[in-house]
Structure 1
Amino acid sequence: MLRRLVAERATGALLRDSGTLYLVDGQVVHAESPSAPGIDILLTVGGRLRPESWQWAVDQAGARGSVGRFLVDSGQVPGGELELCHLGALFDAAFFTLSPGSGATRFRYGVAHWIGPVSPVPAQAVAREAARRRELLGRLWPHPEVDTAPVVRARGLPAASVTGRQRALLALADGARTPQDIARLLGRPAFHTLVDVRRLAAAGAIATPTAAVPPLGMPAPLARAAAEAEAVADVALLRRLRDGLETAL
């Protein structure tokens, strides 16, 4: 559907269960997802803009769909900074919106977002970046369950083994907050938080949820075979990590 809409130079909203892409003349001008902090959170929690200044901009310019232009013209945010933040929010939300298995896809012609035009991006570039990000996460730690499970700290990793960004993440890992919760609290893109979560999980600093327990009554030979298969997968993973480290060094 996205390819067809690009060919049509369509304007409107592409809706999926995991988020929404806003198009103007076939280009992506904005994206939103419940899994990603919005541009408002990136600007305010990140310290670039006071919350009351953001609300003032929405009140003044939201109805006419020009909040972005208003922020720049009123001197609240420099144009270049707004563009960078907007692109970060767009690619972040698009990653989740375009994820496989996100349910039915539908398009509403003529729908516009109140942020207004900031920095349009070709839809092909958005789709390529979403695919690249999925591949990167798989290379870092091929256990996608850590992306949505509450973040649980593991014990025994020296503080020097993690970066400042990762320490801030770990400080909020209370066993109840998900990576998306932590991203909102830190005012960071959700994808960047997932990268840190997967790296920390690969390093043993974050617990990876255990595989499902075999159903009660499973014959012992089948249970043993399942356990052996899991062990083989773990060994293969460790070898891939070792080869990757050797290549990087």
Structure 2
Amino acid sequence: MTAATAAWAARRTTSQALRALAAEGATGALSGERGIVYLCAGRVVHVESASAPDLGALLTRSGAVPPDGWWEAVDRGGTQHRVGHRLVDSGRLAAGALEVCHLGALFDAAYFVLAHDTRAHRFRPGAVHWLGAVRSVPVDTVVRESRRRRALLESIWPDPDIDVVPIARVPGAGAGDLPARRRRILDRVDGARTAADIAASLACRTYHTLVELRRLAADGLVAAAPRTTAPVPAEQQEYPVAWDDPDTALLRRLRDALEAL
């Protein structure tokens, strides 16, 4: 640990550590209980969490990029930290589409990293994500958005276990008429899948899946359940042939707002 990045360790929460690193203009990777935040010159450039599908999963499972195209970009651009550039330069993905999907994956993962905001574990100065630069976001924006999302979920149904444990249908509860996306999510609730599993099977973002799951819980249709069976293997999951992305307009507005900073 260098003197320039030592201040983060004294902070009690991950968000406080991120703000300390941002104030120093630090570059590197901050690891927490539920994921890793990558910084470049004090701004967030990537966030990873096992509780949210990563960018590759979103792009390939949605059909936006074929799997062989994604892995070709990883093989050719990964060691140079230019996977994103490779996707765009090869014509497989438009730059705007990459930015929108990247922002969605970043804020999705950040929600889980900051949801309980426990103490950060480790900072690796100079660490760079293999995807490469796509869009950087101020730390305060990431923290503020994560808190807004947590508050919204709690206002719908105040059970944080819904976020991370397997979800089960409530026996005998009638579904009635549901919006199409909520119905698709309910159809995948089987007592074994978590919200992240369901989001991955639908090639959509975990946070928006959580919103629908909490609404289903508020309606008495689903509840958090202890894990009694193994998760559905990836090769057995069903993936849509079209990109189900109803929140693209919101993310474009987020991107435009960031450009104005």
Shorter-chain TM-score bucket reads 0.7 to 0.9
Distance 2:45 2:185 in 1: 30
Q: 1:18–1:102: 8 Å Cα contact kept in structure 2?
A: no
Q: Deviations over 1:105-156 (max 9, x none)?
A: 3211000001000011111100000111111111000111222232212334
1:31 correspondence with 2:47: yes
User: Which runs of structure 2 are paired with 1:133-152 in the superposition (5 Å)?
Assistant: 133-152=149-168
1:6 correspondence with 2:25: no
* Cα displacement (A) at 1:189: 1.4
Q: Deviations over 1:212-248 (max 9, x none)?
A: xxxxxxxxxxxxxxxxxxxxxxxxxxxxxxxxxxxxx
1:40 correspondence with 2:56: yes
Q: 2:167–2:225: 8 Å Cα contact kept in structure 1?
A: no
* Cα displacement (A) at 1:80: 0.6
* Cα displacement (A) at 1:71: 0.4
Letter in 2 for 1:112: V
Distance 2:176 2:70 in 1: 36
Q: 2:166–2:225: 8 Å Cα contact kept in structure 1?
A: no
Instruction: Sort the Cα spacing of 1:156 and 1:97 in 2 relative to 1 into closer, same or farther, 3 A.
Output: closer
1:16 to 22, 27, 32: 32
* Cα displacement (A) at 1:158: 4.0
Question: How many aligned residue pairs are there?
Answer: 209
Query: How much identity, in percent, do the aligned residues show?
Result: 49
Q: Deviations over 1:191-223 (max 9, x none)?
A: 11111110011012213559xxxxxxxxxxxxx
Q: 2:191–2:225: 8 Å Cα contact kept in structure 1?
A: no
2:67 to 51, 58, 74: 51
TM-score of the superposition, structure 2-length normalised?
A: 0.76
* Cα displacement (A) at 1:171: 1.4
2:208 to 192, 197, 202: 192
Distance 2:224 2:46 in 1: 33
Letter in 1 for 2:159: H
Distance 1:116 1:208 in 2: 37
Distance 1:64 1:15 in 2: 22
Letter in 2 for 1:184: A
Structure number with greater Rg is 1
TM-score of the superposition, structure 1-length normalised?
A: 0.80
Q: Deviations over 1:77-96 (max 9, x none)?
A: 01111100000000011111
1:76 to 78, 92, 100: 92
Distance 1:13 1:142 in 2: 31
Aligned to 2:252: none
2:124 to 108, 111, 127: 108
Distance 2:175 2:53 in 1: 30
Higher helix share: 1
Aligned to 1:157: 174
Q: 1:157–1:204: 8 Å Cα contact kept in structure 2?
A: no
Q: 2:30–2:120: 8 Å Cα contact kept in structure 1?
A: no
Aligned to 1:93: 109
Distance 2:225 2:60 in 1: 33
List gaps (5 residues or longer) in structure 2: 1-16, 227-261
